[in-house]
């Protein structure tokens, strides 16, 4: 029995998908956290199959640059991931993060369960009530997870490969 319990804990995995601007920076924010098993830059929330970076950047596919996070819920909770998400970008700018402009840079939480949806909505509501953004409205979408399409290999762990800490100049 002890071995079975250990196996379940070792095999614990959940997925989360967040969009908060350029996926290079979002991926890096999550990649280095304890309890993260894997991160993958990609595209979600659009209407075309297997979009390419160029197609997503054109703004015609409806996809957001997003990051899929596989995590061990025994080591890091979904609530902790939400906290990092909110702190890693400006959720009050519609279709924009810094110099990046377009619907592909929108702020979104793609939930995969009712529990994730409730947690995301509660965290958004708490942030709105906190007064952190004064009179600005949080525009982050909280929507059902759509198909996640991994980005091209050169986008994966881009900042790590380039020896950079963030996208900020």
- Cα separation, 41 vs 25, whole angstroms: 10
pLDDT (0 to 100) of residue 165: 75
Whether the CB-CB separation of 105 and 67 falls below 8 Å is answered with no
Q: Does this model's pTM top 0.85?
A: yes
pLDDT (0 to 100) of residue 1: 41
pLDDT (0 to 100) of residue 27: 96
pLDDT more than 70, % of the chain: 92
Where residue 133 sits, what CATH number does that domain have? 3.30.1060.10
pLDDT (0 to 100) of residue 70: 98
Q: Is 22 a catalytic residue?
A: yes
Q: How does pLDDT run along the chain (169 residues), one tens digit per residue?
A: 444 443 334 468 999 999 999 999 999 999 999 999 999 999 999 999 999 999 999 999 999 999 999 999 999 999 999 999 999 999 999 999 988 999 999 999 999 999 999 999 999 999 999 999 888 999 999 999 989 999 999 999 988 888 887 776 4
Sign of the torsion formed by the C-alpha atoms of 36, 83, 29 and 60? positive
- Cα separation, 43 vs 150, whole angstroms: 6
The total of structural domains in the chain comes to: 1
**What element of type H or E holds 64?**
strand 64-71
* Residue 140 domain-assigned (yes or no): yes
* Residue 110 domain-assigned (yes or no): yes
* Residue 167 domain-assigned (yes or no): no
- Cα separation, 139 vs 120, whole angstroms: 13
* Residue 80 domain-assigned (yes or no): yes
* Residue 3 domain-assigned (yes or no): no
Q: CA-CA distances (angstroms) from residue 92 to 59, 70, 108, 137, 139? A: 20, 26, 11, 6, 5
* Residue 153 domain-assigned (yes or no): yes
Catalytic residue among 16, 17, 19, 22: 22
pLDDT (0 to 100) of residue 167: 73
Could you tell me the residue range of the domain that residue 130 belongs to?
A: 12-162
* Residue 64 domain-assigned (yes or no): yes
* Residue 4 domain-assigned (yes or no): no
């Amino acid at each position: 029995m002890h071995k079975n319990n250990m196996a379940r804990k070792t095999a614990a995995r959940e997925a989360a998908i967040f969009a908060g601007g350029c996926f290079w920076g979002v991926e890096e924010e999550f990649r280095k956290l304890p309890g993260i098993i894997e991160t993958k830059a990609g595209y979600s929330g659009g209407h075309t199959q297997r979009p390419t970076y160029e197609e997503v950047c054109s703004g015609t596919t409806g996809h957001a640059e997003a990051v899929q996070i596989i995590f061990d819920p025994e080591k890091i909770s979904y609530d902790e991931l939400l906290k990092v998400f909110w702190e890693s970008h400006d959720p009050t700018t519609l279709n924009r993060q810094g110099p990046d402009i377009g619907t592909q840079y929108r702020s979104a939480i793609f939930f995969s369960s009712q529990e994730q949806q409730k947690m995301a909505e509660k965290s958004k509501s708490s942030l709105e009530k906190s007064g952190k953004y004064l009179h600005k409205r949080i525009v982050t979408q909280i929507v059902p997870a759509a198909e996640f399409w991994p980005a091209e290999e050169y986008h994966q762990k881009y900042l790590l490969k380039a020896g950079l800490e963030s996208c900020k100049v």
